[in-house]
Structure 1
């Protein structure tokens, strides 16, 4: 455990998932292993068309997401059950693996996603 405060900025990401005209995800990681992501999805973005190919084309999104919606509306569908949930500005959310998603409407979706390091789990 460190006793130093670490600051990271999305303007200088460690990695980026570039979805060209439909958006992208800037990823920062701390020395302790925590990860933060700033996701921007433009109107028309879908997980199926824009993100799935970047992840090796799994059947559904294999990741667990914890985050906060800054703007827009995102519809998330649990593939096995068909349950659809709309995430909107101001929502703090938790999404299990096995989903897909798409932008609802004409407004850009911005999310902040968090992933704790193994030492915080």
Structure 2
């Protein structure tokens, strides 16, 4: 697919905490209409990758591109406004609401 078709592109993301590597040159492209799953053991870096995407933590290397625009320098709030959000596994959801309604709860 051409770059303009890419929804989210992660290019060479690396991250370390206190000198311990967490993510090493992670690359990923997500295109509209695709379904992906990110799996791994505890401590594998899944949540850290999502925190980088959301702007909660800054990677030491690499770039995150959403709809052909680098997210570098954007605040968490600005990234949320662009439509990028995460629901944690432990989050208490409201069962009467749809998945979309739970995601957008409080953002109206």
Using structure 1 for the length normalisation, give the TM-score: 0.28
Using structure 2 for the length normalisation, give the TM-score: 0.30
